[in-house]
Each structure stands twice: as C-alpha cells, then as structure tokens.
Amino acid sequence: MRKDTAKKETILVLITFSYPYGAIRESFLDPEISCLCSYFNKIILVPQYLPDATEKIARNLPKVCVLDDSLIIYSKIGKIRSVLMKIFLCLRSKLFYTEIIKKPAIITNIKSFKLLGEFISDAFIIKKWASNCIKKHDFAPQNTIFYTYWLSASTLGLGLLKEEYPDIVVISRAHRGDLYEDQYSSAHITLRNETFSLISKVFLISNSGKEYLEKKYPTYLEKYQTIRLGVTDSHFITSPSVDGIFRIVSCSYIVPVKRLHLLINGLKEFCILRPSKRIEWTHIGYGPLEQSIKKLASEVLPENVKYNFTGFLPDKGVIEYYRQHNVDVFINVSASEGIPVSIMEAQSCGIPVIATDVGGTHEIVSDEVGLLLDSDPTPMDIADAILKFIDNPNQIADKKRKSKENWRLNYNAEVNHNFFAQEIANLRN
C-alpha cells in the first residue's frame, strides 16, 4: 500500500499512559510516532495521566500530531469517583455478571471486587470520552483507528464503543504488565475474553507474548501478531575497558521486579571469588527503592567494587553515556519482562548482555551476544556469568559485533516501526 494513499484515508487516535509528557515510561514511542506520521494524515495523541514532575518533559511533536488532553480530566473523575458509584456502575453492567460467573470468588474478596469495579468504571469512562472525542474532532469513525499503547480497561472501553460506532477499528499493543496474568496475586486480568472479542488486533512485542495468548485465549488466534519494538541506530560501538577494570552497567526503574538486590549480591559473590579484580558497576535509573538499594550496596560491596547511581537519564542521555564511557557488559536480572528496551539500547551500542530468561528476553539474549541466565538465578550464578566474560576476553569482541548485528536485524526502530505502521494502516484497506 502506498503511504500517500494511507495518509488521505485514515486518522489514528493513540491512547497512552502519559506520552508525550513522560520522559521514561513510553519514551520508545518517539521513533514509532515518526514512522506513523508517514501513514496517517492526523494522529491524535491522548495521554490518560500526567507523569511525576521528575520525568515530565516537553516534546516537539510532528505537524500531523494533535495533542488532546481531555482524557486526563476524565481519568481524574474516575479516580475520585466513590466506591458506591463504581459499585452502581458494575451492577448496571452485564460485564460485571459475566466476570462473576467466571470467577465467583470475586464476591468474597474485597480487593478483587474493588479492582473489578475500577476496571469496569474505567472502561465506561473511556467509552464516554471516545464518543465525545469523535464529535469534538468531527472525523468519520469508518476512517479512524483507535490504538491503545497498553492492553487495559481503555482497550475494552474502546471496544464497547462499537455499539455506537460499529465501523471503528480498535487495536492494542501488549507488553508485560498488561499481558502476563501470573504476575498478579489473583493470576487473572479482568474481562480478557470480552476485550479480545471486541477489538481487531493485539500486537505483541515478543513471540513469547504471542505464544502466551495463543495458549491462554486460543479463540482469537487470528488477532495476535508479533511486531517488536526497536531503538534507533547509535552509530557507534561502545569501547571496552583497557585499564584492567571490568565495567558493568544496568539500566532500569528501581522497583522490586528488577531485583537489583540480587545483582548486588551477585557482585558480592564475584568479589569473594576474585578479591583482587576491580569492578565498576553503574546503574542508570531511579525509582522508589533507590535509597534502600544504595544502602545495600554500601553495606555489602567490598572495596574492589566501585559503584555509581546516575539517577534518571533520558533515552539520549543513556546512549550518550555509552558513547562517553567504557562498558564491558550490560546486566539485567529482572523477574519479569516483555523484551527490555534497555537491552535493545545496549545492543545498538554493541554491548554484550547478561540477562535472566524471563518473558521474551531469550529472543534478544543468547550465548552469541552475551549469556542467558536461569529465570531465577542465585547470586553465585551471576558471579559465574561475570567470570566467564572476564576469563574469556577474546570472546568479548565477537559478542560486541554480534550484539550490534542482532540489533540491526531484529530491533532497528526504523524497520520495525515502519512495518507496524503499514500493518495497522492496512486494517483500513
């Protein structure tokens, strides 16, 4: 399909968490937006929430993008709605009874009952907002694609809008927290079947995610498609250390699922094995556990480990760090992932990766480009992985070259996002 044909025919309404205001959570949307602009004559960006002040930024958006902040107001209304109002909405909705029949234990579990009420309430808020959005922007629903960046209550709400506008197309991406149900204490995400029945496509960022949905919700196989995320070319390969110090970088939001305490204890075990080897570990990122992780590092890491916490760095700042500093290996020991963009960034700079085999991580990390750990490694497993790099310096150059090549073949933003843009534009043909 020709790009100019698609531009004349379609409008894209993209619902995000906080993009374009947030610097971190959805920063990898930047290259995707650039590609989408070639296929749509108007893109309406709709953030649901404002980010914390720490990561709020101002972006220069392409001319075809229109920013609509109205959903932020709707979302605030949803947050202040009383529990009684949410219960009332639930009791009026057949979705509530559908879910109760499937999961009767919800009635006796206050937390689950509350989550169900919030989910249904949020879905109806989105439905009402979207109906008003169509009138406000005066566009033809049959020429419109609604796209939720996260598979959530928003996705269901847009699907419900088909009762009023049967010609709209609704699609969603799915990543990690919005996909894998075993992350939650209930091992369940609300109204999944109902959501999938109402939307046209779910685009997974990994084959593992696609296989997960195929196994759990086989009724909708034709709706699942893997199209990976990507990052732009760094145009360089990070230099390795040449001064006898082994330099390690990790990059993540500092929250429990990232298991930085496990990495610290892995470094501690390594130092027991090689007390004379000097290590420098840098963590890029911030988060609610930052102070406790810093405290742990100061308590358990010996003198031969120098550590540094950079705090928040924007995407360009991360790449600039890799340009200006020697890095020998990137480490990710998360308990759960989709496919980490932080690993894509490292590989775009030719940095080998040690990572846990969770989610779709095995699709980007292998022995060719680094080392894949068990999903639940011990500190000694991490220490042994670092030792394999240090004891085999001749392999590092090959892993660096293959890391860059893996990025080029599989995680190049220009290639992946252009393919995604064309695929969703084709849904209107």
Instruction: Let me know the angle formed at the C-alpha of 113 by 90 and 256, rounded to the nearest 5 degrees.
Output: 130
Q: pLDDT per residue over 173-185, tens digit each?
A: 999 889 998 776 6
> How many helices and strands in the chain, by DSSP H and E?
16, 13
Nearest C-alpha neighbor of 161 from the set 179, 174, 149, 148: 148
* The pLDDT value given to residue 325: 97
Q: pLDDT per residue over 66-77, tens digit each?
A: 999 999 876 666
Residues 6+ apart with CB under 8 A from 193: 217, 219
Q: Can you name the residues that pair with 14 across neighbouring β-strands?
A: 45, 147
Is 246-411 assigned to CATH 3.40.50.2000?
A: yes
How do strand 370-373 and strand 353-356 relate by DSSP bridges? parallel
CA distance 125 to 119: 10
Q: Is the dihedral of CA 262, 265, 269, 274 positive or negative?
A: positive
Nearest C-alpha neighbor of 352 from the set 304, 403, 312, 386: 403
Helix axes 110-137 and 70-80, enclosed angle (nearest 10): 150
Q: pLDDT per residue over 96-151, tens digit each?
A: 888 888 888 877 887 887 788 888 888 988 999 999 989 888 888 888 999 999 99
CA distance 195 to 215: 17
Nearest C-alpha neighbor of 231 from the set 144, 350, 336: 350
Q: Can you name the residues that pair with 308 across neighbouring β-strands?
A: 282
| Banded pLDDT at 348 (limits 50, 70, 90) | very high
Q: Is the pLDDT of residue 2 over 50?
A: no
* The pLDDT value given to residue 404: 98
The structure tokens 């498609």 sit at 225
| Banded pLDDT at 336 (limits 50, 70, 90) | very high
Q: If residue 44 lies in a helix (H) or strand (E), which one and from where to where? A: strand 42-47
The distance from CA 335 to its chain's CA centroid, rounded to whole angstroms, is 14
Which residue intervals of 286-392 are DSSP H helices? 290-300, 315-324, 341-348, 379-391
Q: How many residues does the chain have?
A: 429
CA distance 153 to 149: 12
Domain with CATH 3.40.50.2000 in the chain: 11-230+414-427, 246-411
Q: pLDDT per residue over 230-244, tens digit each?
A: 999 999 999 999 999
What class is the 11-230+414-427 domain?
Answer: alpha beta
Residue 188: strand, helix, or coil: coil
Residues 6+ apart with CB under 8 A from 8: 41
* The pLDDT value given to residue 7: 44
Exposed, middle or buried by CB within 10 Å (0-12, 13-18, 19+), for 163? exposed
Residue 222 amino acid letter: E
CA dihedral 166, 10, 427, 27 (to 10 degrees): -110
What radius of gyration, in Å, describes the C-alpha atoms of the chain? 23
Query: What pTM does this model have?
Result: 0.90
